[in-house]
Structure formats: C-alpha cells, structure tokens
Amino acid sequence: MINSAISFNPPRGMRDFYPEDMLLRNLIFDAWRTAAKNYGFSQYDACVVESLELLKRKAGEEITDQIYAFKDKSNRDLALRPEMTPTLARMIAAKQGSLTFPVKWFTIAQCFRYERTTRGRKREHYQLNLDIVGEPSILAEVEIIATAIKSMEAMGLEKSDIIIDFSSRALLSDILINLGIAEPEHAAAFVALDKRGKITDDAIRIILSEHGLTDDTTDKIFSALEIKSLSDVEKLVPKETESLKELLNFIDLLKAYDIDSCMNFNISVIRGLAYYTGIVFEAFDADRTLRAIFGGGRYDNLLSSIGGKPATAVGLGFGDVVIGELLNMKQNITIPKSQGGTAVGYMQQEQQNTAIQAANKLRADGVNTDLALTAEKAKKFFSRCNKAGFEEAVYIGPDDVDSNEIRIKNLSTREERIYSE
C-alpha cells in the first residue's frame, strides 16, 4: 500500500520534466547536438551507473565527496556518475588498440552530484560533453570551445552574452616549479587553490602545508595568482617557456576562429578537478551573475592513470541548468510555449471516421497531429486547442463528412484554408 504521506515532489535537488519543461530542455539539447555534429563530433553514450573505483580519486576534490554511491545485491561498489570523463576514459581504454585517433566524441549525459542545492546547482543535471582524445595540438582546445559557442548561438545567444576565462595549469606548474614546489605536489596544490574564495586563505594554507608547502611559499603562490595579464607572466617565467608559448599560440588561434572577443585570460582559473594538465577554461554569463556555464581543459594523464596507454585529451562539460537560467533571463530569446502541431476534433460520434481519415492523412504527410479521442462541442474543442498551444485545428461537423476536403484553421490568425499537402 502507498503511504498516504508520500511527497509528490521529486527528491531534493532532482527535477521532473513536465511536457512544458521539455520545450526548454529540447531547445538546449537540439542546439548541443546540432553544433557538435556541425563540428564533426560523433555521439556516444554509456550507462549512468559506474563502478565506484573508477570515479574515486584521492586528490581532495569536492566531486569525490559528492558521489551517490551504493552497493548492489552482490555487494559490488557502484555509483551514479557525477561526471562523464572517467567513463569516457574507460571506454577509450577498452578499445584503445582498435580506435582511430584522434577521436572526437560528444554525449549528453545525466550526472548526479550530492551538492548543496543553490541557484544553478542541482543534484542532477544533464551535461554536454565534448572531448578530443589523442590530439596534442592546441587546435583541439579551440575546436572544443568554438563548438560550445556555436551551440549557444544556435540557442539564440551571442558571443557578447558570455565571457570565457582561461588559463593554463602547465603555465601555473612552471610558475610553481620556479617557486621551488616539486611537481608531484602540483595536482593537490591546484585542487586546494581552486577552493580560493570558497574557503579562507588560512584553510588553504593548512591544506597546502600538508603537502609540504610553507606559509611563505603559499603567499608567493597567492601573489602569483594576482597577475592580471600575460605580459606580467613573463616576469615569473622565461619568455621561451613552452607553456607560455602554447598559451600565446592558443590566443592566436582564437583570433582565427573569431572567438577571441569573449575570451579572457585569468590566471586564477584553475578548476576543481585534479586531472587537468594544460589549458583550462570556464564560461560565465557576461554580467557574471550566474554560476559557471561550462568548463573544461586538457587532461593528458587520465587514461594512463586508470590503466590505459597514455593518451592526450581535451574536453569540456556544459550543463543544462545555468544555460537554462540564462536563456530565461534573455528578453530577446523566445522559448517555445508549446510543441505546436495540429489538432483534429469532431462534433458527434458519427464524424469519428472522417476525423480518423483526416488525422491519418495529415500524419502521413508528416504533420504532427493530435486526434480527439471523443466527440466534443466546438467551444470545448477550440478552448482545449488554445490551452494546449496547437498551431492549427480541424473541426469536423456533419457537413464535412461528405466533402472530400479538410478545412484547417490557423489558431492565431483565425484564417481558414483547404488543406492540401
């Protein structure tokens, strides 16, 4: 028996999608799919349930603490994926010998994270993932970012609506080495530094001291993170440093794609995931009122860290929640209010067969058609059509039975025409 006190709400942080909610979701998903295919990405998918072992990392990342983990009836440790990247790495590793590289793959994956639910953050979200594996060229980063921008344009946004902060972990690594911090400590240092602003600097000092960094070194890192421009970076590392040259090359390529206007160098963009090794980036709305729209970067060690052969990779995750908020905020963007289509109704049971034939004809011609399941008065039929947001309607009365015509009415202009395919 169902408990009468059961809540009709979904569990906290999870969402239901009623038909009207699917309109915005489909607008976003369609734009993602169109742009990804337009830029040559192939679609893949995987099961939402992953083995916990693959997802757990030991670098102190927030995401590891947010995993929805459980045991199955055979005592296996499983989890709902919080992100797609480890699964992608597993899938590539499983077929590394037979795949042709670079692979350029995309997916729209539902991800689960036990987060504090705030504006822009749920416990479940869909994420477009764009990844290129097996390509060291920095052009891969630019293709990924350009695809994400293209998808936003397909939603009706403009480049001026967003700002994409970027930096380079490789560059920051070189700065850390110059400050005397050994490379094995860098991943943990990045994860700790990414928490800046979310926890106090003193709390970060404590985490970093556990990795052997003195307060004095930490202060030097903090002041390095105050750097505002690339020319200031040259004061910290020699001009010919590979990571710096790469970043300058990246900027040139952004210009070639005409997407440099929305890109902003910001050395303090580090990202909270430990696996990034190179250029990292994070997109925000231009007014910076919302949480991150998308984020990603190069991750050259993930495949080898899960036991695959080494492979270079770059990718991004683009969630549906924040972009949905941004689209809702934009006055100039029209989010469909209904899925449209044509409704067919009839006055009396005697006209049902004629209505079935009319609906069949429209459907055969590819017109999305809803057929009334019972006879109804004209007033009720048209008021139902308006509420449901149909674009056109056919209402069959006794006079229409013998005619071979389908009279179709446009519900916004009220104009009537004889249907012909």
Task: Please count the other Cβ atoms lying within 10 Å of the Cβ belonging to residue 22.
Answer: 12
Task: Please count the other Cβ atoms lying within 10 Å of the Cβ belonging to residue 106.
Answer: 25
Nearer to ligand HAM, 224 or 279 (CB): 279
The number of residues in the chain equals 421
Q: Hey, is 104 helix, strand or coil?
A: strand
What angle is formed at CA 113 by the lines to CA 65 and CA 80, rounded to 5 degrees? 95
Exactly one of 15, 121, 211, 363 binds ligand HAM (CB under 6 A); that residue is 121
Nearest distance from residue 162's CB to ligand HAM, in Å? Answer: 12
DSSP 245-308: HHHHHHHHHHHHTT-GGGEEE-TT---S-TT--SEEEEEEETT--SS-SEEEEE-SSHHHHTTS
The whole-angstrom separation of Cα 171 and Cα 174 is 5
Exactly one of 322, 343, 359, 372 binds ligand HAM (CB under 6 A); that residue is 322
Q: Which stretch binds ligand HAM (CB under 6 A): 71-79, 127-135, 209-217, 254-262?
A: 127-135
Q: Which stretch binds ligand HAM (CB under 6 A): 27-35, 160-168, 257-265, 316-324?
A: 316-324
Nearer to ligand HAM, 102 or 295 (CB): 295
Task: With CA atoms as reference, report the closest residue to 319 among 16, 27, 29.
Answer: 29
Task: Please count the other Cβ atoms lying within 10 Å of the Cβ belonging to residue 14.
Answer: 13
What are the phi and psi torsion angles at 108 (to 5°)?
-115, 105
Exactly one of 131, 141, 143, 391 binds ligand HAM (CB under 6 A); that residue is 131
> Binding string, 276-315, against ligand HAM, x = CB under 6 A?
----------------xxxxx--x---------------x
Q: Is 129 in the site for ligand HAM (CB under 6 A)?
A: yes
The whole-angstrom separation of Cα 89 and Cα 129 is 12
Q: Is 400 in the site for ligand HAM (CB under 6 A)?
A: no
Nearer to ligand HAM, 196 or 407 (CB): 196
- Footprint of ligand HAM on 36-95 (CB under 6 A): 83, 85
Tell me, letter by letter, the H, E, C secondary structure of 14-33.
Answer: CCCCCHHHHHHHHHHHHHHH
The whole-angstrom separation of Cα 367 and Cα 43 is 28
Nearer to ligand HAM, 315 or 345 (CB): 315
Nearer to ligand HAM, 81 or 220 (CB): 81
Exactly one of 81, 90, 104, 113 binds ligand HAM (CB under 6 A); that residue is 113
Nearest distance from residue 150's CB to ligand HAM, in Å? Answer: 17
Q: Is 316 in the site for ligand HAM (CB under 6 A)?
A: yes
Exactly one of 168, 172, 263, 319 binds ligand HAM (CB under 6 A); that residue is 319
Could you tell me how many residues of this chain bind ligand HAM (CB under 6 A)?
A: 24
Task: With CA atoms as reference, report the closest residue to 297 among 414, 158, 112, 173.
Answer: 173
Exactly one of 31, 81, 107, 127 binds ligand HAM (CB under 6 A); that residue is 127
Cβ-contact 366, 381 below 8 angstroms: no
Q: Is 125 in the site for ligand HAM (CB under 6 A)?
A: yes
Nearer to ligand HAM, 87 or 351 (CB): 87
Q: Is 324 in the site for ligand HAM (CB under 6 A)?
A: no
Nearer to ligand HAM, 244 or 270 (CB): 270
Provide the sign of the torsion angle of the four alpha carbons 346, 352, 358, 364, taken in this order: positive
The whole-angstrom separation of Cα 201 and Cα 196 is 7
The whole-angstrom separation of Cα 368 and Cα 394 is 13
Q: Is 102 in the site for ligand HAM (CB under 6 A)?
A: no
Q: Which stretch binds ligand HAM (CB under 6 A): 120-128, 196-204, 347-355, 388-396?
A: 120-128
Nearest distance from residue 164's CB to ligand HAM, in Å? Answer: 11
Q: Is 115 in the site for ligand HAM (CB under 6 A)?
A: yes
Helices (H), 330-421: 352-364, 378-388
Nearest distance from residue 129's CB to ligand HAM, in Å? Answer: 5
Nearest distance from residue 86's CB to ligand HAM, in Å? Answer: 8
Q: Which residue has the tokens 């590392």?
A: 237
**Interaction site with ligand HAM (CB under 6 A):** 83, 85, 113, 115, 121-122, 125, 127, 129, 131, 273, 292-296, 299, 315-319, 321-322
